[in-house]
A and B are shown apart, each in its own frame.
Chain A
Amino acid sequence: MRPFAYSRPRDAAAAVAEVSADPEACYLAGGTNLVDHLRLGITRPGLLVDLRDLLDDGVEEMPGGGLRIGAATPNSDLAAHPLVRRRHPMLSAALLSGASGQLRNAASTGGNLLQRTRCAYFRDTAAPCNKREPGTGCSALEGHGRHNAVLGASRHCVAVHPSDMAVALTALDARVRVLGPGGERVVPLPGLHRLPGDEPHRDTVLEHGDLITAVELPDPPRGRRSAYRKVRDRASYAFALVSVAAALEVADGRVRGVRLALGGLAHAPWRARRAEEALTGAPATADAFREAARAELADARTGPDNAFKPALAVATVTAVLRDLAARGDR
């Protein structure tokens, strides 16, 4: 591991100034992704700027409605927070379906959003990988492809985004507050994570030095029910093959509102706008749900190892929406 200097600035502005001034610097939050990458040699910073004790680590109600989640809020505290459990069951479930109890206790909200892909070739410094070393090629195209993306991929990268929490936040129209060298701005979800195109080394639209300070969540409309379902190779402590974050409001047997995001399918959490449009106003039936999910997956491109993904995604979306429609008022 390359030696690095370590710094613990007094406040967020000082942290942004330090990282912005040094192209080899990076932020450290819970460390559950970054320390792994230091050890694997994927990331080789010259300076670590520790965010410990300098970002908010709690959830509060915003004056005009909605929740504000400090970027340092640990995944486990966020999942257990009463306001999150009451208003956004899908977010609590998404967090609880990720990693393990120990990891969630250390992992932060900001770090979870910016965790990097689990593509096996990205994690193996002996393998060519355009995301790790631009221009070297993509080993996953010809290699093991079980986890590969089926939507929005490019010939430069077929990796998927690993976060469960980010899928829920993408369905919930979350907004990320970012403090950069030029001041504060807001980045919406979807919109934070990118598709790979010909720049797969860029996971998100953030620039060097940008610091996530908080995530804001609008309140759900009355009568909305939400859920998160994750399908994986073992029952717990595994990344998603496919996951679905869904929120639904039904009135008189018809869909009044629906929010749908998919995980495990693309380089970014996938907001299923096409399915949402098809469903709004449609009868809340399994047939309608299945048809909308099929339309969403119509452009999926698969290889021999991940050919199961579109059908699995369609079945999971259908099941989640059908269960939400069948449930009482929450």
Chain B
Amino acid sequence: MDATITLHVDGEEHRLTVDTRTGLLDALRDRLGETSPKKGCDHGQCGACTVLVEGRRILSCLALAVSHDGARVTTAAGLAPRGDLHPVARAFVDRDALQCGYCTPGQVCSAVGVLDEAARGWPSLVTDESGDDPGEGAPVPLDREEIRERMSGNLCRCGAYTHIVDAVESVGSAGAGGEAAR
């Protein structure tokens, strides 16, 4: 069964008719030619398909396209609109945070989400919540343990993890990068 939807992808508006069974990832890749989000598993287990929807990082393989009618989607490619690398992507290159590169667009989108979430004061499982007022919402500093926990939904078969943590840490301490999520 078909449905006609609108998707705003990396600043461009697309109107398309999709089968209701189409995942957002397949709509992006096969229908709109946006191939930076990758299909690693199609079951929510690897993070290669991570994109930002309304600024939040989600897995596009477990999202149905029809359910995202009207959504604003940012892919890793869209983080570099004029060909300049986004600070997070730049850090991945500078820190040699990839080997084959298949997981990288998902890692970069996820890292942009992590920087935004930490800036808004969202805790992770390893955040120390024992202070006077854990709900006050101060930004969470991103040390290596925080980065590892927050990035755990992005697997890398090449095992580039150590450098990925380096890359995110370098952007996190520079205080840049998360605003692209908004």
Contact at B148–A236, with CB atoms within 8 Å? yes
Contact at A80–B121, with CB atoms within 8 Å? yes
Most interface-central of B3, B42, B62, B135 (chain A CB within 10 A)? B62
0 or 1 for each of B52-68: is its CB under 8 Å from A? (1 = yes): 00001111011110110
Contact at A82–B20, with CB atoms within 8 Å? no
Contact at B134–A105, with CB atoms within 8 Å? no
Residue A89 at the chain B interface, CB threshold 8 Å: yes
Contact at A106–B1, with CB atoms within 8 Å? no
- Min CB gap B105→A, angstroms: 13
CB within 8 Å of B: which A149-194 residues: none
CB within 8 Å of B: which A1-26 residues: 1, 3-6
**In the complex, which of the residues B1, B43, B56, B64 contacts A105, with contact meaning CB atoms closer than 8 Å?**
B56
Contact at B21–A76, with CB atoms within 8 Å? no
CB within 8 Å of A: which B15-63 residues: 19-21, 23, 42-44, 47, 50, 56-59, 61-63
Contact at B57–A102, with CB atoms within 8 Å? yes
Measured CB to CB, the nearest residue on chain A to B152 is A236
**In the complex, which of the residues B1, B23, B58 contacts A3, with contact meaning CB atoms closer than 8 Å?**
B1
Residue B11 at the chain A interface, CB threshold 8 Å: no
Residue A140 at the chain B interface, CB threshold 8 Å: no
0 or 1 for each of B119-148: is its CB under 8 Å from A? (1 = yes): 011111100011001111100000000001
Contact at A82–B137, with CB atoms within 8 Å? yes
Residue A283 at the chain B interface, CB threshold 8 Å: no
Q: What's the Cα separation between A99 and B137 when bound, in Å?
A: 23
Residue B13 at the chain A interface, CB threshold 8 Å: no
Quick one: given A79-B123, A96-B125, are A103 and B44 in contact (CB under 8 Å)?
yes
- Min CB gap B50→A, angstroms: 6
Contact size range, B: 35 or more
Q: What's the Cα separation between A50 and B20 when bound, in Å?
A: 12
0 or 1 for each of B166-179: is its CB under 8 Å from A? (1 = yes): 00000000000000
**In the complex, which of the residues A36, A82, A327 contacts B44, with contact meaning CB atoms closer than 8 Å?**
A36
- Min CB gap B157→A, angstroms: 15
Contact at B123–A100, with CB atoms within 8 Å? no
Quick one: given A96-B125, A236-B149, are A102 and B20 in contact (CB under 8 Å)?
no
Measured CB to CB, the nearest residue on chain B to A1 is B21
Q: What's the Cα separation between A133 and B176 when bound, in Å?
A: 51
Q: What's the Cα separation between A201 and B134 when bound, in Å?
A: 41
Contact at A80–B125, with CB atoms within 8 Å? no
Residue B153 at the chain A interface, CB threshold 8 Å: yes
B residues within 8 A CB of A301? none
Contact at B62–A36, with CB atoms within 8 Å? yes
Residue B113 at the chain A interface, CB threshold 8 Å: yes
Residue B150 at the chain A interface, CB threshold 8 Å: yes
Most interface-central of A28, A83, A100 (chain B CB within 10 A)? A100
Residue A274 at the chain B interface, CB threshold 8 Å: no
Q: What's the Cα separation between A101 and B110 when bound, in Å?
A: 8
Measured CB to CB, the nearest residue on chain B to A327 is B130
A residues within 8 A CB of B120? 80
Most interface-central of A1, A101, A105 (chain B CB within 10 A)? A101
A residues within 8 A CB of B108? none
Contact at B117–A101, with CB atoms within 8 Å? yes
B residues within 8 A CB of A89? 129, 134
Quick one: given A4-B21, A6-B20, A86-B134, are A106 and B62 in contact (CB under 8 Å)?
yes
Residue B114 at the chain A interface, CB threshold 8 Å: yes
Contact at A96–B23, with CB atoms within 8 Å? no
Contact at B135–A83, with CB atoms within 8 Å? yes
Q: What's the Cα separation between A94 and B134 when bound, in Å?
A: 16
B residues within 8 A CB of A52? 67
Contact at A103–B19, with CB atoms within 8 Å? no
Contact at B58–A102, with CB atoms within 8 Å? yes
Measured CB to CB, the nearest residue on chain B to A230 is B125
Contact at A4–B1, with CB atoms within 8 Å? yes
Quick one: given A85-B123, A100-B47, are A5 and B20 in contact (CB under 8 Å)?
yes
CB within 8 Å of A: which B79-112 residues: 110
B residues within 8 A CB of A35? 23, 61-64
Quick one: given A36-B44, A236-B149, are A96 and B124 in contact (CB under 8 Å)?
yes
- Selected A-B contacts with CB under 8 Å, 14 pairs: A5-B1, A6-B67, A28-B64, A35-B23, A50-B66, A50-B67, A81-B135, A82-B135, A85-B129, A89-B134, A92-B123, A101-B113, A105-B56, A235-B148
B: residues with CB less than 8 A from A are 1, 3, 19-21, 23, 42-44, 47, 50, 56-59, 61-64, 66-67, 110, 113-114, 117, 120-125, 129-130, 133-137, 148-154
A: residues with CB less than 8 A from B are 1, 3-6, 28, 31-32, 35-36, 38-40, 48, 50, 52, 76, 79-86, 89, 92-93, 96-97, 99-103, 105-106, 235-237, 327, 330
